Amino acid sequence: MRVLSGTFDQSDCVRFPRYGGRQCSANAVAALCKAHVLNPNLWTFLNVDECLMAGNKLFEHSYEILPTSYSNIIYLRPDELYSCVMFPENEIKFQADVNNEYYGTSMNNIATVNFGMVNYCIDDAVLCFLHNFNYGVFTCKLQCVAIMKIVDEYFLFDSHKRGKNGLTDGQNGTAVLMSFTNIKNLVLHLKNLFKCTSCLPTNNTVQCASCQFTIIPIFVGNVTNLELARNAKKNKSNAKKLKKNNLQSNIQKQKVESETIPASTTDLVNKIYDLRIQSSEPKYERTEEMKVKNVLQMSNRYKTNVEVRESKISQNREKYQTDEVFREFHSSKMRQKYHNDELYHDKLSGKMREKMREKYQIDEDYHNKVLENAKTSYHTPQGAKRKSNYQHMYHSSKKTKICLHERFNEQKKEMPTIICTGCAQLFFKKSTVSELSLKIDQTLSITYVCTYRQHLGENESGNVCSTCANHIKKGKVPHFAATNGLVFDPLPQELTGLTTLEERLVSARIPFMQIRELGYQKQLGLKGNCVNVPIDINKTVTCLPRMDSEDDTLLVQLMRRMSDKTPYAFENVRPEKVFNAARYLPGWKDLDLDCSLNSTTQTVAVNCYLKL
């Protein structure tokens, strides 16, 4: 169910001061006529308001032409209304078929027959009505709504004050247009809308009059273009086209009516329909393909032929100056396009600005006039108000700039401290999502994908980076997930606590590089080349002497070149820690090491190469 709300309802005292709240039947008929011209799926809130305005005009006109005996009547049935609805663009004729109306009581659950008349329940009435008709007015408790069927979709238009659900009656309620995918939902909404709480089913023979409902079919007739109708007397060709359109619409109307006439008279209606088709002139019979083809030909001719375009423009200009009806119609159409179409609005406003600038530079009178107006308006109350508004806007924009600058500085202080439970990498908080917000596929689970949880508690949920989240949403394991083995193993005890120089002594390669502070922010950067020197660990370890205790240290200088006078690193080294690290490294899973230990000299011979 979808609901489209307008901006006001029929009880608006400002727009409808005279008959506000009484024109529900007229509004329902106006909505049906509008749906006949424009598919309700394409409606906007402006079309809902347009139906209310047209319904109010229809109610006023109908009330004026009625006899004086109707002066005290509050509610008008659809068959008592004037048979034409006026819209800004066209006028549409309609007719209420009272002979085929459906009626019943909302208290009944089963259809009954009283004195030869069928008393429907609301379910059967709506089902039978929409099976035979497309447009109708549903009336219950002196309230009218429009129900309609467009292809396989059902719509309900209610001009009373309704909320967003189409039922509640609040202070901010407006007229609504609702769409339903099936009849069941439409009937359920009607039951909830016209629920009779004052009646109890204690006496089946006596029914409350407020619970009675009627459904009256509405036949929408021919649609007349106002511009074409007003100029028909001046142009004979336009009159012929109008006659042809009226003939085709009447034939279509008779065809729709023939579907709802009882079987006893269908043969007669079919004969009349065939005779009208035969009597119509064949030159006026055009298919939709021919119409589209003619329109394309005319548009191409207008674009390519300069003479045709200039003559058409000159005709429209003369018509705009002489014909008041055409001028009003064209101006209203352009205003509506200016307010609704954003592209046209921007294009037209840009053209006007350019014209005003050119005129300001070329025309001296206009230039002086603009300056005088600016000087006079500066000392007026409006000019003072404009100046205060500009100052307020300037200071507010300045404050916002300061706030944005402070916010930027605060965000710079944030560091990537959030650990992704999928790939075990560090990320900023804004680039991660919670595990609870992910919809995991049935074939996966959080405990299987997000395995890196050493930093979390028992009942604590972790965060996932955007890359892992995209793979998990697709039902796949991330490429860089920890479950694929892409995670660092815990550091063993033999390699913990090593100093920088001790690590270099058991390293197969020693990289030499200069890292210095750069610029104002003191960020670290590499200066110069990076030199990677291969080292024979056997010679390095052999150079270390045997110590009496494990805690004994030895002062070692690491030279970059033997010709240098100053050492690259100068520290106290624990030989026992170096020996233990050299014994452990051959068993490392990512390195293949050949190690032979001489217990007498406490030296280790190591040949190391990376596993590729």
Task: Check whether residue 543 and residue 423 sit in a common domain.
Answer: no
Residue 293 in any domain: the answer is no
User: Is residue 486, in this structure, part of any structural domain at all?
Assistant: no
In a domain, 377, yes or no: no
474 with 541, same domain?
A: no
Looking at 450, 481, 512, the residue that finishes a domain is 481
Question: Using 50, 70 and 90 to split pLDDT, how confident is the model at 448?
Answer: low
Last residue of a domain, one of 481, 501, 524: 481
CB atoms within 10 A of CB 66: 15
Q: Tell me: the pLDDT tens digits for 74-125?
A: 778 888 888 888 888 888 888 888 888 887 876 555 545 544 456 678 888 8
| For residues 412-434, average pLDDT | 86
Q: Give the number of other CB atoms < 10 A from CB of residue 513.
A: 11
| Separation of alpha carbons 23 and 63, rounded Å | 10
Residue predicted with more confidence, 261 or 138:
138
Q: Are residues 147 and 98 in the same domain?
A: yes
Give the residue carrying structure tokens 């995918």. 181
Do 54 and 139 lie in one domain? The reply is yes
We report the CATH number of the domain holding residue 69 as 3.90.70.120
Q: How far is CA 24 from the centre of its chain?
A: 32
In a domain, 445, yes or no: yes
Report the C-alpha gap between 118 and 10 in whole angstroms.
Answer: 33
Q: Is residue 410 part of a domain?
A: no
* Per-residue pLDDT reduced to its tens digit, 122-131: 888 888 888 8
Looking at the fold, whether 26 and 119 belong to one and the same domain comes out as yes
Same domain, 454 and 565: no
Could you tell me the pLDDT band of residue 282, with boundaries at 50, 70 and 90? very low
Domain that holds residue 467: 418-481
Note every long-range contact of 259-264, with CB atoms under 8 Å and residues 24 or more positions apart, other chains counting. Answer: 259/132, 260/97, 260/100, 260/132, 260/133, 260/217
Residue 447: predicted pLDDT = 58
Residues 185, 43, single domain; the answer is yes
**Predicted confidence band at 148 (pLDDT cuts at 50, 70, 90)?**
very high
Average pLDDT of span 157-176? 81
pLDDT at 595: 47
| Residue 497 and residue 476 share a domain | no
Q: Is the pLDDT of residue 389 over 90?
A: no
Task: Give the phi and the psi of residue 541 in degrees, each rounded to 5.
Answer: -70, -30
23 with 149, same domain: the answer is: yes
- Whether residues 458 and 605 fall in one domain: no
> What's the whole-number mean pLDDT along residues 198-209?
42
* Rounded mean pLDDT, 186-198: 75
Structure confidence at residue 31 (pLDDT): 92
Is the confidence at residue 535, as pLDDT, over 60?
yes
Q: Is residue 413 part of a domain?
A: no
Domain assignment of residue 533, yes or no: yes
Q: Give the angle subtended at the CA of 306 by the CAs of 304 and 309, to the nearest 5°.
A: 95
One domain, residues 475 and 511: no
Q: Are 497 and 574 in contact (CB under 8 A)?
A: no
Are 175 and 34 part of one and the same domain? yes
DSSP letter string over 271-301?
HHHHHHHHHS-GGG---HHHHHHHHHHHHHH
CA 453 – CA 461 distance, rounded (Å):
9
519 lies in some domain? yes
Number of domains, the chain: 3
